[in-house]
Structure 1
Amino acid sequence: MKILTFAASSSSKSINKTLATYAASLVKSADVEVLDINDYEMPLFSEDKEAILGQPKEAKAFYQKITQADALIISFAEHNGSYTAAYKNLFDWTSRINQKLFQNKPMVLLATSPGPGGAATVLNAAVTSAPYFNGDVKASLSIPSFYDNFDVAKNTFSSQELLTILTEAVSSLSK
């Protein structure tokens, strides 16, 4: 199984990238590819820009990565209760190639934040909208207070309960 994982964040210190990468590592038999959405940066989407540029090579490359994967693990950062601008722009451009951009791939959707909300608002938006873009959400999980529940130095959860829930979530990809 080939798992494509990434954080829906452009931060070089993204805790969501840490979470997504860690979650993918729990699927022992998988070949994991970790993407950085900064590698797919494009001008802000608009119909006017699309008329001039067509479909940017970065959007086509991102879509191809999804095509080549058997499953997806995405962890969402939350900016003012919504998607980060970087992810939303990548999503908007790529969905113009194919509105069903997730291609019926099984998905685990995650979110975390340093605070107690755990980016639950954006995670809810992602889980709710994924089926409209042909995403097969197998599980979702919000991790509150990331630094209280994940030991960054040891790269592991300090909360056994959350580790168990995350392990069950990612195991749903191979069912």
Structure 2
Amino acid sequence: MQAKPCRESRVIKTSRVFPNDVNDHNTLFGGKLMSDIDMTASISATRHSRASVVTASTDSVAFLEPVRPSDSVCLESFVTWTGRSSMEVFVKVTAENLRSGERRIAATAFLTFVAIDDDGHPTPVPPVLPESEEERRLNQSGDERAEHRRAHRRLSQEMAEYLTTSRPW
């Protein structure tokens, strides 16, 4: 398969922060942002693979700065690294104070998606062709993050073996 540039999977979504989007601290509710991150990242994964995709994991979400009702929030996502059928998607969240124009990185996230065929089986995806310095740095460190994901998944599977599904009451 021919490598595809990150720009072909890039998604940019900008929205306002409204009163129903904030928590008791008058900042954007983390769950709302996480939902938007997953939605945006899934579009990037689908654009890269041109297949149906499923979220395999949310590897990390780092909330770096609060997002307030006076801000807009811009999510930028793109595929940074691929395995055989899996894709790592990076999401950068930028908050902008709409009155002052001040912009800041409010959050970053890495998610993993798997491309699936019409029968629900994993299907191969093309490799990534990074072009910018940001894309190259994210791509170069992708193998290390993938190994960390594999180790974390093994630990989660081991833990699941001793967890119970019975009701505690």
Tell me the TM-score normalised to structure 2 length.
0.28
Which structure has more relative contact order (CA 8 Å, sep 6+)? It is: 2
- Bigger proportion of residues as strand: 2
TM-score (norm 1): 0.28
Could you say which structure has the larger radius of gyration? Answer: 2
